[in-house]
Amino acid sequence: MGMLEAILITIATAATPLLIAAIGELVVERSGVLNLGVEGMMVMGAVTGFGVALISGSPWLGFLAAILVGALFSLLFAFLTLTLVTNQVATGLALTLLGLGVSGMLGESFVGLPGVKLGSIYIPVLTDLPLVGKFLFGQDPIFYLSLLLTGSVGYFLFRTRAGLTLRSVGDNHASAHALGINVILIRYLAVMFGGACAGLAGGYLSIVYTPQWVENMTAGRGWIALALVVFASWRPWRVLAGAYLFGAVTIGQLHAQALGIGVPSQLLSSLPYLATVVVLVLISGNRRLTMVNTPASLGRPFVPDR
Amino acid sequence: MRIELVKRPQRSALFSALSPFIALALTLVAGAIMFSLLGKNPLDALYYYFIDPLREVWSLHELAVKAAPLILIAIGLSVCFLSNNWNIGAEGQFIMGAVAGSILPVMYPDFQSWVVLPLMLIMGMAGGAAYAAVPALLKTRFNTNEILTSLMLVYVAQLFLDWMVRGPWRNPQGMNFPETRNFHEYAILPEIWASSGRAHWGFIFALVAAVAVWFMLSKTLRGYEVKVLGQSPRAGRFAGFSSAKMVFFAFVVSGALAGLAGISEVSGAIGQLRPTISPGYGFTAIIVAFLGRLNPLGIVAAGLVLALSYLGGEAAQISIGVSDKVARAFQGLLLFFVLGADTLIHYRIRFVATGSRKLEASHGNA
Amino acid sequence: MATPPETSDANLLEVRGLTKIFGTLKACDHIDLTIGKGEIHALLGENGAGKSTLVKMLFGTLEPNAGEILWNGQPVRISNPHIARKLGIGMVFQHFSLFDALSAAENIALSLDDKTPISTIAAKAKALSYSYGLPLDPHSLVGDLSVGERQRIEIIRCLLQAPELIILDEPTAVLTPQEADKLFETLERLRAEGKSILYISHRLEEVKRICDRATVLRHGKVVDHCDPRQETAASLARMMVGSEVQAVVRPPVEDANNQAALLEVRKLSRAPATPFSIPLRDISLDVRAGEIIGIAGVAGNGQGEFFEAVSGEVQQADAGSVRIRGKDAGRLSITGRRLLGAAFVPEERLGHGAAPRMTLSENMLLSRHATDRKAFLGVAGVVRKHAISTASQRVIEEMDVRKSAPDPEAASLSGGNLQKFIVGRELDRRPAVMVINQPTWGVDAGAAAHIRQALIELARSGSAVLVISQDLDELFEISDAIAVMHNGMLSRPIPIAEATLEKIGLLMGGAEPGHVEHSREPA
């Protein structure tokens, strides 16, 4: 395996959790809901994924648990914002704070334990291809799942009637309600899908990316995923591009640290965060682009009259 | 069963006053359940969390030490949140205030005079305000989401502090520990009542800030401007208020208060800079702001409650062996209940049994 | 007197005792209504009479508290719009239920309950639209379409479901008179095909023209069933309002030619601020002391952008493009323009003209914190609550604002009462220039008459008044001259004596001013 391919694979591993979480949030935002709790749901997924994998010995059960916990955790957010019509921004923050607190509590006994790893796939001949074999055919299964997820969400949103309905709810919930579309139900489902994705992304961090549990181990990735959705102007394939860009920045700075190029490591570590800010500035500065693409009902409360 | 909201014609004054208490009560109930699940006697646990720290004078001082930064930051956040500016980077502004305020005692340790402390406080406020002005500038100039930028800058500030105390500002006599030199006596924020405990002037700053900002918000045109722009930006524009100027005002005020909290913490409670100077005050203050219903006077009370949960966490760890991490979970839960209870201010909640909607075929005359 | 609804097999829809209660308000109180097959049935009533609530119950977006609905003689429960559509009820909403970010075909697909592919829907919609003479491009993005085109989508969407009963809620409110004529042709053709139509309007002339029967609502109750062709507009109005509506009195302008222009707009242009907004092109206009100039136009032709530019909510680069009382104001903020003596009332009441969750006295300060600084503010900007609530009380009495609490939140007032307060807040200053956008939109007849009369009195007392309105009846009632805005351009004002509905309508539809001048020549 060449150096370049090794780097490509680490980039993919860094990008995959961002991609999965951002795709989930994209669906949520397309339905008109802004869930800022991605970080909280992700860290909950990370701690339960790690714990269940450790106790059961099966990474797959870990992923399943991470998905379930992410979805359940998002249900809290959905109940508050959709049923009790609380402020979505504040409630999303609450979800993040709660997730960080609860995961710290749950994960205390896991600190320092080695995690259960998930193997990479191996297809004879294909995986052994020179240059690209391992990158294309020799990664972990969740990597392939993340690509499949991106494609299916793109297909669902823009090629199916259900996807059209979801987008219509995000564009104008009053019109959707007037046509008899169950706005609240669709939003509940979207939020839970987003929660499941964030949970899976968290599980990936603690099972594949760095197989261990460290408090606050998401380290802002949930927030970067939120920024990616804006960066991608709510389009799935652009999320993929953005996630790999961030994966590259993350891995690039790690390699630079390892090489010891004379720049403080803290500066290099802050690059993904600074890159997020720069990217947001570049995208948001184009007001026309953001105005046309932002789901018009995003973050607005909806109470049907009865 | 289904839950329906019925909009009240007027906001309910009763529930405005009651909602923080409902939220606290619900948090206690949830906490009791949580402790039972952890196999602890819930009454004991709640006692150690919320009563025990109040029994001794030194411990009340500790309460004031912890409450001071929470209150100062949350007051600034109330101005932001009321004007619909979502500054969630107070943790970073706190750190940058602490760093800027430490320039004099760390870089010029020989400059020892009574003017040092006032200068440090001013520089701390300036540092926090300048750091907060970054997301404000990006929001007004490039239409960038301030939630994400202000939060990203927290991580940058943490790494910056880490670099400073390990690199250029490391104590030359410190045996390579990652910390700055200890502040000299002119750079230390004095205790309020030194003979009985550690509480320093930061708490007084918090009370003064609370009264000042309360006055501004509830009595002056500027406060009116904050609320109009927060509730309906178009009405604010119609009034001739500038939302761009308001973005700067809110961020700068809250950054300055977070910076003041930062330098007060460093100079009053710690006495030097270290890689970590805050147990997440900037984030917990978000909870304080909402629990205080975004009213600076309410925030003083709310800040004391949250400070108590920090102290209680430590007390419970020592006495009944519950992890102090439980306190963080508690705090998160509290914010959820606060937000949920606030719904009662604007809505009446009705429970409807599904499928039992009455449809009488009455044909009486009207 | 009220003729009881007859029951016969020919009835498509029969409604008995339908009641809807919101909190303490009986929005609909034991409504009886029958609609026969092949009938155009008018539902008449003022704003707030309960028309919209009633049709929402018929279409399933609201559930009634009591009463029953019979469809072809069978009792039915319409708990959601899917059931309504399945029965054969179609609806054209007043405020449209469309999605700006989606194409016309996607918009149509969303209300069809089967799984027909979008391409098939697009083809069908196109064919149907041409057969009714309402041409439609199914692939265009709704956000880019005019109001009239949007309504076409609503109508075609409704017709594609092959409904037996079509409900139209205030369909002509957004159309030019000529477009309305076209709509009436379509409706008559549908009637000829045996469809039934429930036609909601408060425009009496058109009801008399196309409707076979009418049901009149007032305060949530049926007050009468009648044959509109046997009634006069005045008698219908009396049924709706319950009393004689005060006619607005418009005395002539004194010495009209020697009055100074207090508001001058000179070659005002503005690039579009958002992808969906209209650029303003080279607008010039004078409004003299003592007169009211009306600006007519179909919604979305730049009226909102024009209001922003004239009021100073958006400033111009050219200081001379707006002049108030002879002074350049183009680069002044809205506050600066107010200080020159101008006052403004925007179209949207809640969230623009008033902050919804603030009390009336707090809202008093919204537009007057600078002009009444001395009275309302003390040292260091401290708000003088007493002075403000006194002023607010004065406005409430002057304009007869009805409210439920001493100082209620703006959002709790009815549309008419809040509008009276907002207009009164500005009148209380005796402004030299008044610019008002849609002064009586969604306001009941009594309040509308009160506001219109107050505007005339303001003008005749020496102020210049500019009224932007979609309501042509209103403009003809109060204006001394009417200009028409179309696609960001403004026509020359036509003196009211020369203005006809046809002429204004053609300009609203985009006809060249020269062409219209010609059409005035007797044939």
- Alpha-carbon gap: B302 to the closest alpha carbon of chain C (Å): 25
**How far apart are the C-alpha atoms of C42 and C21, rounded to whole Å?**
23
Q: Which fold has domain C256-519?
A: Rossmann fold (3.40.50)
A contacts of C78 (beta carbons < 8 Å) = none
Q: Position of tokens 């709706």?
A: C240
Predicted confidence at residue C8, as pLDDT, reads 52
- The CATH number covering residue A131 comes to 1.10.3470.10
B358 reaches C (C-beta below 8 A): yes
Q: Which of A84, A220, A287 sits opposite B343 (nearest CB)?
A: A84
The contacts of residue B18 (CB under 8 Å, 6+ apart) are B341, B344
A160 reaches C (C-beta below 8 A): no
Is the residue at A177 inside a domain?
Answer: yes
ipTM of the shown complex: 0.91
Contact B238 C366 (CB under 8 A): yes
DSSP secondary structure of C332-359? S-HHHHHHTTEEEE-S-TBTTTB-TTSB
Contact A266 B340 (CB under 8 A): no
Please name the helix (run of DSSP H) or strand (run of DSSP E) that holds residue C321, with its range, or none.
none
Residues making up chain B, counted from first to last: 366
Q: Which of C77, C357, C366 sits opposite B239 (nearest CB)?
A: C366
Predicted confidence at residue C2, as pLDDT, reads 43
- Alpha-carbon gap: C387 to the closest alpha carbon of chain B (Å): 14
- Alpha-carbon gap: B185 to the closest alpha carbon of chain A (Å): 31
Contact B360 C66 (CB under 8 A): yes
Domain boundaries in chain C?
11-241, 256-519
A contacts of C19 (beta carbons < 8 Å) = none
**How far apart are the C-alpha atoms of A44 and A38, rounded to whole Å?**
10
Q: What b-and-e string marks burial along B43-74, b requiring 16 or more CB atoms within 10 Å of the CB?
A: eebbbbbbebbeeeeeebbbbbbbbbbbbbbb
Q: Which of B232, B235, B363 sits opposite C16 (nearest CB)?
A: B363
Predicted confidence at residue A300, as pLDDT, reads 92
Contact A108 B329 (CB under 8 A): no
Please name the helix (run of DSSP H) or strand (run of DSSP E) that holds residue C135, with its range, or none.
none
A contacts of C99 (beta carbons < 8 Å) = 167-168, 171-172, 175-176
Contact B335 A97 (CB under 8 A): yes
B107 reaches C (C-beta below 8 A): no
Contact C367 B358 (CB under 8 A): no
Contact B366 C30 (CB under 8 A): yes
Q: Which chain A residue shows the shortest CA-CA distance from B142?
A: A285
DSSP designation for C496? T
Q: Which residues on neighbouring strands pair with residue C201, listed in sequence order?
A: C44
CA distances from B215 to A90, B114, B210, B212, B240 (A): 25, 31, 8, 5, 22
Q: Position of tokens 């401290």?
A: C382
Contact B152 A85 (CB under 8 A): no
Name the nearest CA neighbour of C256 among C285, C289, C293.
C289
Q: Which fold has domain C11-241?
A: Rossmann fold (3.40.50)
DSSP secondary structure of chain A? --HHHHHHHHHHHHHHHHHHHHHHHHHHHHTT---TTHHHHHHHHHHHHHHHHHHHS-HHHHHHHHHHHHHHHHHHHHIIIIIS---HHHHHHHHHHHHHHHHHHHGGGGTTPPPPP-PPP--TTTTTSTTTHHHHHSS-HHHHHHHHHHHHHHHHHHHSHHHHHHHHHHH-HHHHHHTT--HHHHHHHHHHHHHHHHHHHHHHIIIIIS-S--TTTTTTHHHHHHHHHHHTTT-HHHHHHHHHHHHHHHHHHHHHHHHT-SS-HHHHHTHHHHHHHHHHHHHHT-HHHHHHHS-TTTT-------
Identical fold at C11-241 and C256-519? yes
Q: Which of B237, B238, B294 is the best substitution to test chain C (most C C-beta atoms within 10 A)?
A: B238
Burial class (CB in 10 A: 0-12, 13-18, 19+), C269: middle
What is the per-residue pLDDT across B247-292, written as a single tens digit (0 to 9) for each? Answer: 999 999 999 999 999 999 999 999 999 999 999 999 999 999 999 9
**How far apart are the C-alpha atoms of A64 and B312, rounded to whole Å?**
36
B217 reaches C (C-beta below 8 A): no
CA distances from A29 to A84, A302, C222 (A): 19, 14, 44
Pick out chain C residues at pLDDT < 50: 1-7, 518-523
Instruction: Give a three-class secondary structure readout of A228-270.
Output: HHHHCCCCHHHHHHHHHHHHHHHHHHHHHHHHCCCCCHHHHHC
Mean pLDDT of successive 10-residue stretches along chain A, which has 306 residues:
81 96 98 97 97 95 97 96 94 95 92 85 79 79 95 96 96 93 96 98 95 93 95 94 94 87 88 94 81 87 82
Q: Are A254 and B143 in contact (CB under 8 A)?
A: no
C contacts of B363 (beta carbons < 8 Å) = 16-17, 30, 67
Q: Position of tokens 């009390």?
A: C359
What is the per-residue pLDDT across B147-158, written as a single tens digit (0 to 9) for each? Answer: 999 999 999 999
Contact B5 A85 (CB under 8 A): yes
Residues 495-514 of C with CB under 8 A from A: none
Q: How many beta-carbon pairs under 8 angstroms link A with C?
A: 62
CA distances from A137 to A5, A126, A127, A149 (A): 12, 6, 5, 17
Mean pLDDT of chain C: 90
Q: Which of C110, C112, C115, C151 is the best substitution to test chain A (most A C-beta atoms within 10 A)?
A: C110
In the sheet that C11-22 helps form, which strands lie side by side, from edge to edge? C25-36, C11-22, C66-71, C74-76
C198 backbone dihedrals φ, ψ, rounded to 5°: -105, 115
Regarding predicted confidence, which is higher, C152 or B364?
A: C152
**How far apart are the C-alpha atoms of A191 and C139, rounded to whole Å?**
30
Contact A305 C97 (CB under 8 A): no
The set of chains that have 3 or more CB pairs under 8 A with B is A, C
Q: Which of A44, A233, A284 is the best substitution to test chain B (most B C-beta atoms within 10 A)?
A: A284
Contact C313 B362 (CB under 8 A): no
Contact B359 C367 (CB under 8 A): no
Q: Domains in chain B, start-ordered, CATH in brackets?
A: 44-324 (1.10.3470)
Q: Which of B84, B145, B162 is the best substitution to test chain A (most A C-beta atoms within 10 A)?
A: B145
- The tally of domains found in chain A comes to 1
B contacts of A281 (beta carbons < 8 Å) = 138, 142, 144
Mean pLDDT of chain B: 91
B232 reaches C (C-beta below 8 A): yes
Is the residue at A304 inside a domain?
Answer: no
B350 reaches C (C-beta below 8 A): no
Contact B328 A100 (CB under 8 A): yes
Is the residue at A301 inside a domain?
Answer: no
Q: Which of A180, A291, A306 sits opposite C81 (nearest CB)?
A: A180
What pTM was computed for the model?
Answer: 0.92
Contact A80 B162 (CB under 8 A): no
The contacts of residue A48 (CB under 8 Å, 6+ apart) are A62, A65, A66, A69, A106, A199, A203
Mean pLDDT of chain A: 92
Name the nearest CA neighbour of B101 among B282, B279, B278, B256.
B256
Residues 100-119 of B with CB under 8 A from A: none
Contact A285 B142 (CB under 8 A): yes
**How far apart are the C-alpha atoms of C280 and C35, rounded to whole Å?**
46
Contact A168 C274 (CB under 8 A): no
User: The domain containing residue A176 runs over which residues?
Assistant: 3-119+127-293
Q: Which chain B residue shows the shortest CA-CA distance from A285?
A: B142
What is the per-residue pLDDT across A127-178, written as a single tens digit (0 to 9) for each? Answer: 777 777 777 777 899 999 999 999 999 999 999 999 999 999 999 999 999 9
What is the per-residue pLDDT across B196-241, written as a single tens digit (0 to 9) for each? Answer: 889 999 999 999 999 999 999 999 999 999 999 999 999 999 999 9
Q: Are B131 and B157 in contact (CB under 8 A)?
A: yes
Predicted confidence at residue B176, as pLDDT, reads 85
CA distances from C18 to B364, C35, C76 (A): 11, 15, 13
Q: Which chain B residue shows the shortest CA-CA distance from A288?
A: B143
The SS3 of residue B154 is helix
